[in-house]
Amino acid sequence: MLANFLIGLREGLEASLVVSILIAYLVKTNRRHDVRYIWYGVGTAVALVVGVFTVVNIAIGSLPFRTQELVGGTLSILAAGLVTWMIFWMRRTARGLKKELESELADAVALGPLAVAVVAFLTVGREGLETAAIMYGTVADAYTPQPFLGAAGGLLVAVVLGYLIYRGAISVNLGKFFTVTGYLLIVVAAGVLAYGIYDLQEAGFLPRLTFEVGGISNLGNAIFDISSAIPPDSWYGTLLKGTVNFQPNPSWLQVIGWALYLVPVLWLYSRKPAAKAPAPAPQTPVDARQ
């Protein structure tokens, strides 16, 4: 539930800031009458995302078990990759995002109301589809409403924060916010990746690894099993499952994939972006007559 809240909060705040930038530009350029087209685009994008998410879940649910595991595992791994791309993309483009959006909207205003709605639809729709793809890996096989309530709560808080920021009622250090949530989402993505590996092993697409210790091969597919210490149905087991997709009896391949993803991605994310080299100073032309 907390993982979904975090996803809804971060992605929802990104979408809210995008809408705020678009509306603020129209207000600044005395085009308040075009603001309604922004909301038309936003509404259409939300409807599309909900429709796609619903159709995909129904379609996957109607498949045979082995195919469900294969498709679900593949989507979870793709979702982990999408989270990673989104985090690094946001860090790289955040500073120039406002100018880019305003430039796109300026071109759209010149073309007409439909183009304004399309800009809002594309920008919000992209955030929404990213959110749906990321959430799929955390709500797969969920039989309780908690994951969906967590995501809805995160989105609601994000909308309220976006409105208050737009009105100037509060001030949020967005750089620190996106940096901290970026670290948390990397941990979530590692759990989603491990869950995808589990599904692919269940489908028989990936092997079940076993290792011998001291000449005895009794470890089975699980690298350890602490179900007695952290029962999956306990409140703390549910909390760990909902935040980082924790599994008390992970397979060897899950742990290997989790570590091979988490360590290098955290290291790359913790590095500061390289500063641009200063432009060379113009050289003074030499007078050949001297």
Q: pLDDT of 101-122, one tens digit each?
A: 778 888 888 888 888 899 889 8
Dihedral of alpha carbons 134, 47, 94, 181, sign = negative
The Cα–Cα gap between 2 and 8 comes to: 10
Q: What is the pLDDT of residue 283?
A: 52
Asked whether 45 and 117 are in contact (CB, 8 A), the reply is: no
Q: What is this structure's pTM?
A: 0.72
Domain span holding position 130: 2-270
Instruction: In whole angstroms, give the CA distance from residue 83 to residue 69.
Output: 21
| Residue 244 · residue 185 · CB < 8 Å | no
How many folded domains does the chain comprise?
A: 1
Identify whether 85 is part of a domain. yes
Residue 233 counted as domain residue: yes
pLDDT score, position 262 = 92
pLDDT tier for residue 205 given thresholds of 50, 70 and 90? confident
Amino acid at the residue 64: P
Of residues 145, 157, 238, 249, the one with CA closest to residue 194 = 249
Judged against a pLDDT cut of 90, whether residue 266 lies above it is answered with: yes
Q: Report the percent of the chain where pLDDT is more than 90.
A: 8
Mean pLDDT of 188-217: 76
Range picked from 224-228, 238-242, 258-262 for highest mean pLDDT: 258-262
Residue 258 lies in a domain: yes
Closest of 252, 251, 248 to residue 238, by C-alpha: 248
Name, of 22-31, 160-169, 259-268, 269-278, the range with top average pLDDT.
259-268
Query: What is the pLDDT at residue 290?
Result: 46
Residue 288 resides in a domain:
no
Residue 216 has pLDDT above 50, yes or no: no
What is the reported pLDDT for 3? 67
Residue 290 lies in a domain: no
Residue 234 inside a domain? The answer is yes
Determine, yes or no, domain membership for 275.
no
pLDDT, position 1: 62
Tens digit of each residue's pLDDT (9 = 90 or more) over 15-65: 888 888 888 888 888 888 888 999 999 999 989 888 888 888 788 778 888
Higher pLDDT, 171 or 162: 162
* Mean pLDDT (the chain, rounded): 78
| Residue of 213 and 138 predicted with greater confidence | 138
In a domain, 171, yes or no: yes
| pLDDT value of position 265 | 94
Cα gap 54→72, rounded to integer Å: 14
